[in-house]
Structure 1
Amino acid sequence: MSIDGLFPNLTEENAGQLARFEDILKLVWPLKGKHRDQLKYDIRDMSRSLTNERSTRRKEYMTDAKFLSPYLYYFLPWNLFRLSRLFSGLEMDIPENGHVADLGSGPLTTVLALWMARPHLRDRRLDFTCLDIAPKTMNTGVKLFQALAGKDSPWRIKTVKAGFLDHIREKADLIMAANAFNELDWSGRTTRPQAEKLAAHLVGATKETGRILIVETGVRLSGRIISEMRAQLLEKGYKPIAPCTHALDCPMPALGQGAPWCHFNFSTKGAPEWLNAISGEASLTKDNASLNFLYLSPGGAPERGMVRAISEPFKLHGGKGQYACSDRGLTLIDYPAGTRPLFPGQAFAPEWPANRKIDLKSKAFILPYKSRGGK
């Protein structure tokens, strides 16, 4: 059975880049003794503000200096780990002299991760326009990038104080927005108009042959954002490259509390020891990381009728089950006892049963998994 997948394990070289990032942080943003001792509490406080206290958090929180240290030492490296796993599994071939626009750039998270994860791009002359409302955070990111890549890197970075919908002068070969759109108000009737405006802006800022990449945090809200953005971008002529295996309606749109939503969990194996240590100090250890994303272009990827595993496996009448996405809608992969389930993000060519069966609980199409080659 032919199987391909997203989120491959980190290469040794990529893991090494993440491991040495601690030294880069200490060089660019050193912490004195008392500030280093306080770091675990600052990380905890910021984590609460990004989750439990989300409704009371100022939108401009990244302009606040007290948030920068915990962000740089905890949230940034975990985002670099997530994005490294994602970028290494996507086809991301930016042409020589290509232009990349990065919305909500923060400390240049996506630029740093792209350099770490895609070494074949490091010698190309690329122009990056990074936009954020927090210039100090972006300037810190520029320093981090220079320490990582060297000041002679052919990547040319321009930072612009701007919001998500502000004009981008040069159309992009790739436009990215990572952990950005969740900052906006997606409540009630704002959802569709918000997505319409953002989709129109992204398409207008991208070359005819360009690509759009949206990455979010892997929570239910971001699943709704991704689904709505997908619908709007499809209307504007864009088609999915990944993770979707088709350009039909999303079967996991996060509509309602119990409804399925598209996101991926993967192991934190390969994360640097220093980051695991800081996470432990803050009582925020991670066994797995999660995200959801959408990667599109005008042509999209060829539709081959693949089924992509989405959820983690779970017990199902003596064997295992796993929710998946296919051009038939929400799909429940039914694994016989003793069969090793797929990892979230893996896709395969299915053999659909002649008689269609529907799972009573989820209304998903049931797809018996026929293993080959010891899978």
Structure 2
Amino acid sequence: MSIETLFPEITPGNAAELERFGDILKQVWPLKAKHREQLKYDIRDMSRSLTNERAERRPDYMGEARFLSPYLCYFLPWNLYRMSRLFGGMELDIPEDGEITDLGSGPLTAVIALWMSRPHLRGRRLNFTCLDRVPKAMQAGLALFNALAGDTPWRIRTAKAAFSDRIQRKADLIIAANALNELDWSGRTARPQAEKLARHLIGACKDTGRVLLIETGVRLTGRIIAEMRGQFLAQGFKPIAPCPHAGECPMPATGQGAPWCHFNLSVKGAPRWLELLSSEARLEKTGVSLNFLYLSRKGGKDFGAVRLISEPFPLHGGLGQYACSDQGLTLVDYGPKQRPLLPGQGMIPQWPATPRKDLKSGALLLPFKPAIKEK
């Protein structure tokens, strides 16, 4: 039986805010005609620097003019779309006068996406502390937020700080979005770094505080998230989502070809102006991906649920879909004409008495039973 989905479609209100953001960009970050003509090339150059040429990129690259404009006009809006899809399906009931710390904030991406996607929070007094090594990016983001939100009870404080610098106020929610991948995770530094970071973030949380890590859904970030998850568990924090259990991660992205936990999402509801800009830059998108981890001391419900992770693929004359469960790596086996669930959906399984294993992946095979009712 299906119990939930982590990534509901963009609401009409959220879609309207993403569409309006194109006009806000023109107002807050206007480009001269020659710079607007150059923008598509700058976007392509920056895309290469964020992927194939990562090693050549300076740590504080966001402060450079050649990077900031393409980031604000292209990468920021796509990240707002990603996070809107995520925030729309999460439990994020931050209390009045709540404290939110945004680490590696950049142009306040998480703050803007939270305002766009969770309208029930817009009237609450919330205090945001945004920390980043590049003040110029945060200043641009703050100008964009103010133009978007207008008169708001949200209070935003920005400060130049490294990821590991001391956090002054205990937080109800700590967000680190697209920030962990900026650190060096090579060789033997990964585990000690994850242990130190987990201790740092846990120490900055209130007793009821939560931590949300978000990345863009590539194998490297899958490994980072899995490493951080292990250290959080060792220090007393438990997953709320996406993990349906607090056991060992069956998708830790170790080894070539090994599965890693990430979600591919459609771009339905993305703003038209952003799709046109993507086409100009020859970086059209048919989907976006992300991986994330949401934790607290209490954790989420642990009642044997299964979380669908991958997109469906051909299997045994029907379809299959990789999933995560407290039994380990799971392969949901759909019969002919059965409609698969979406990545991110959860289900209550009906396990066979003696589950078989998939010979290729070693995953436990779980025959799919159609949902009785939806929540």
Normalising by the smaller structure, the TM-score range is over 0.9
Equivalent residue number for residue 362 of structure 2: 363
Answer whether contact 2:319 2:334 (CA < 8 A) is retained: yes
Give 2:295's aligned residue.
296
Counterpart for residue 146 of structure 2: 146
Structure 1 gap segments, 5+ residues each: none
In structure 1, the residue corresponding to 2:307 is in which secondary structure?
strand
Q: Which structure is richer in relative contact order (CA contacts within 8 A, separation 6 or more)? A: 2
Q: Distance in 1 between matches of 2:222 and 2:348?
A: 25
The residue aligned with 1:342 is 341
The C-alpha deviation readout for 1:2-54, integer Å capped at 9, x for no partner, is: 43111100110000000000111011100110000000000000000000111
Is 1:155 matched up with 2:154?
yes
Identity rate, percent: 68
Q: CA deviation at 1:139?
A: 0.6
Match of 1:102 in 2: 102
The corresponding residue for 2:28 is 28
Q: Deviations over 1:190-244 (max 9, x none)?
A: 1101101110110011111100000001000000000000000011111111000
Aligned-partner Cα distance in 2 for 1:163–1:149 = 27
1:71-130 Cα shifts (integer Å, max 9, x gaps) = 000000000000000001000011100100000000000000000000010010111000
1:56 shift after superposition: 1.1
Whole-angstrom CA distance in 2 between matches of 1:357 and 1:88: 36
- Which residue of 1 is the match for residue 77 of structure 2? 77
Distance 1:331 1:254 in 2: 15
Counterpart mapping for 1:273-284 below 5 A: 273-284=272-283
Q: Which structure 2 residues correspond to residues 102-141 of structure 1 after superposition, within 5 A?
A: 102-141=102-141
The aligned counterpart of 1:179 is 178
Tell me the amino acid that sits aligned with residue 61 of structure 1.
Y
State how 1:206-225 maps to structure 2 within 5 Å.
206-225=205-224
What is the CA-CA distance between 1:373 and the residue it aligns to?
5.5
Give me the TM-score of the superposition, normalised by structure 1. 0.98
The 5 A counterparts of 1:228-267 are: 228-267=227-266
Alignment check: 8 A CA contact 2:244 2:304 kept: yes
Paired with 1:19 and 1:96, the residues of 2 have a C-alpha distance of: 29
- For residue 57 of structure 2, what is the aligned residue in structure 1? 57
- Contact in 1 for aligned 2:2/2:371 (Cα 8 Å): no
The aligned residue for residue 19 of structure 2 is: 19
Find the aligned partners of 1:296 and 1:287 in 2 and give their Cα distance: 30
> Is the Cα–Cα contact under 8 Å of residues 331 and 366 in structure 1 kept in the other structure?
yes
What secondary structure sits across from 2:265 in the alignment? strand
* Aligned counterpart, 1:326: 325
> Residue 207 of structure 1 aligns to which amino acid in structure 2?
K
Q: Deviation above 2 Å: which 4+ runs of structure 1?
A: 372-375
Shift of 1:60: 1.1
Does the Cα contact within 8 Å between 2:100 and 2:171 map onto a contact in 1? Answer: yes
| Preserved contact between residue 25 and residue 73 of structure 1 (Cα < 8 Å) | yes
1:245 is paired with a residue whose SS is coil
Q: Distance in 1 between matches of 2:234 and 2:259?
A: 23
Match of 1:67 in 2: 67
Q: Give the counterpart letter for 1:234 in structure 2.
A: L
Tell me the CA shift for residue 59 of structure 1.
1.3
Deviation at 1:356, TM superposition (A): 2.0
Q: Is the 8 A contact 1:306 1:347 kept in 2?
A: yes
**Kept after mapping to 2: 8 A contact 1:63/1:133:** no
Match of 1:42 in 2: 42
In structure 2, C-alpha distance between the alignment counterparts of 1:180 and 1:197, rounded to whole Å: 15
Given that 2:2 and 2:373 are in contact with CA atoms closer than 8 Å, whether structure 1 keeps it comes out as: no
Contact 2:2–2:345 (8 Å) recurs in 1: no
TM-score using structure 2 length:
0.98
Deviations 1:156-184 (A, max 9, x none): 00000001000111110000000000001
- Partners of 1:121 and 1:147 lie apart in 2 by 18
- The corresponding residue for 1:310 is 309
Moved more, 327-336 or 61-70: 61-70
Matches of 1:183 and 1:333 in 2, distance apart? 34
The CA distance in 1 between the partners of 2:355 and 2:308, in whole Å, is 19
Q: Report the CA distance between 1:374 and its aligned residue.
A: 10
Q: Across the two proteins, how many residue pairs are aligned to each other?
A: 374
**CA RMSD, aligned part only?**
1.0
Point out where structure 2 has 5 or more consecutive residues left out of the alignment. none
**Equivalent pair of 2:98/2:125 in contact (CA under 8 Å):** yes
